[in-house]
Amino acid sequence: MSLKILAVDDSKTIRMIVKKAFKTYDCEIIEAENGKEGLETASREKPDLIVLDITMPVMAGPEMLAELKKDPALKEIPVIMLTAESGKENVIQILKMGVKDYMVKPFKGEQLIERVTKVVTLESKQKEDEDTSKKYFSTVEDVQVLALPQKLNRPTCLEIERHFKSKVEEMVNSGLKKFILNIAKVGGANVTLIRLIIMVIQTCQKASIGIRIVGTAALSEELKGFSETSEVTIDLSIEDAKGAL
Amino acid sequence: MSDINAVDLRGFISGAMNEVFDTMISMDIELTDGGVQADVQGERIVGSVGFAGKAVGSVSIQVNDAFARSITAAMLGMELDEIEGDEDVHDVIGELSNMVGGDLKSRLCDGGLDCELSIPSIITGSDFKTEIKGWERHESLVFRHQEDGYVLKNISG
């Protein structure tokens, strides 16, 4: 069953970082911009966990927490506080408020997940993960093919990178030794694409997997403009790449 | 410790800036000798937080528009062309100043200079200059990221 997590922070940036941290887990993230909105949302949605900022306009985190604790229907909801202040007095005060844990900013998404898993049980979006993997990866005879989408932004790239690493592991275990990176659909060369290409080439070489790249003539020209990929050979079809492997 | 002059403001801010940029943006920045302040010119953004109590002052972070957008894209995990508008950029710069200010506030409190922190405020524009007057102490630090990004950090107390 999907967990409901309420992120209360006046900063959209922090709410986005929280949302991103839970992306691979079976969670629904609901947001509120201040304590007042947070209380209303908590009453309505009954979340399984609240990630609550301290300093906010309209109603600050400690006030919202005090109100939560007064409400029999909400007082048991675990709360993890976010604070930019790591001072001793501040930490003691936070713990006295009855929160489950606290997180000092700056923090990485994985650090937040680590704290959260001590409070609630998170489950991976396994099914979705498998579907995503199928979207990019396919096997043609004895060749593993990774076909990149037209729009390659950083989150997509990170997702592909994650799947790619497990695919390489699978290939090593099963003895598959041929890999094709198909970039033909990618709209244009950018830094994200260059980084991904380099990462794929280096990982394959390290695992002793043969690698070829399939693309268009235009992309081949564009890649020559980047020092990192100026020497990379582009095949113009899967057949050509298979033949060269 | 109960005197703002006895506090290692430069050390505190330098440490906090490096930690915030490394943790939130995976971006290396280095403290320069201050000779590149002219690079934070033109269209720029200033994010500030104030602190008040036994220590009173403000911490502000100033970056040019282009670098602010690079920081925003890195912090939100998106490409430059995916940034929805100035609001996102302002929020990110405000949050960065909040994190650095929060770290300084914690260190001041731990050192006996109890104070409270304000929520961040943002100033944008190109035709303005910051003048520091009447404060007991003022520090200005310039950080550089690779060749093109400069961050000017002002702390007054």
Smallest Cα–Cα separation from A105: which of A89, A77, A81, A122?
A81
Q: Whole-model pTM? A: 0.71
Q: Where in chain A is the domain with CATH 3.30.750.24?
A: 126-244
User: Which of these, A208, A216, A209, lies nearest to A240 by C-alpha position?
Assistant: A216
| H or E stretch covering B121 | strand B121-125
**Contact yes or no for A213/A178 (Cβ under 8 A):** no
A83 touches chain B (CB under 8 A): yes
Find out if CATH 3.40.50.300 is the number for domain A126-244: no
What secondary structure letter does DSSP report for B51? E
| Domain definitions of chain B by residue range | 4-34+41-156
Q: How far are the Cα atoms of A94, A100, B70, B103, B107 from residue B114, in angstroms, in the given order?
A: 16, 26, 35, 13, 9
Looking at this protein, which amino acid is placed at residue A214? V
Specify whether domain B4-34+41-156 bears CATH 3.40.1550.10.
Answer: yes
* CB spacing of A106 vs B19 below 8 angstroms: yes
Question: Phi/psi of residue A62, each to 5°?
Answer: -60, -35
Q: What is the structure's pLDDT at B153? A: 65
Between 2.30.42.10, 3.50.50.60, 3.90.1640.10, 3.40.50.2300, what CATH number should domain A3-116 receive? 3.40.50.2300
Chain B residues close to A13, C-beta within 8 Å: 75-76, 88, 91-92, 95
The CATH 3.40.50.2300 domain(s) of chain A lie at 3-116
Distance from C-alpha of B151 to C-alpha of B31, rounded to nearest angstrom: 9
Percent of chain B beyond pLDDT 70? 87
Q: Does A14 touch chain B (CB under 8 A)?
A: yes
Q: What's the confidence (pLDDT) of residue A31?
A: 97
Separation in Å, CA of A190 to nearest CA in chain B: 10
Torsions phi, psi for A118 (to 5 deg) = -80, -15
The tokens of A87 are what?
A: 């001072």
Q: pLDDT tens across B30-82, in order?
A: 888 765 555 567 788 999 999 899 888 888 888 888 889 999 998 988 888 88
Please give chain A's pLDDT, 245 residues, in tens.
Answer: 689 999 999 999 999 999 989 988 889 999 999 999 999 999 999 999 999 998 889 998 989 999 999 999 999 999 999 988 777 777 788 888 888 888 999 998 889 999 999 999 888 776 666 677 788 999 888 899 999 998 887 778 888 888 898 889 889 888 889 999 999 998 888 888 888 999 999 999 999 999 999 999 999 998 888 888 888 889 999 999 999 88
Q: What is the DSSP string of A92-147?
A: HHHHHTT-SEEEESS--HHHHHHHHTTTS---B-HHHHHHHHHHHEEEETTEEEEE
Test mutation, A105, A153, A190, chain B, max B CBs within 10 A: A105
What pLDDT, on the 0 to 100 scale, is given for residue A117?
92
The answer to whether residues B120 and B98 touch, using CB atoms and an 8 Å cutoff, is: yes
Is some CB atom of chain A closer than 8 A to the CB atom of B15? no
Two tokens, residue B74: 């890195």
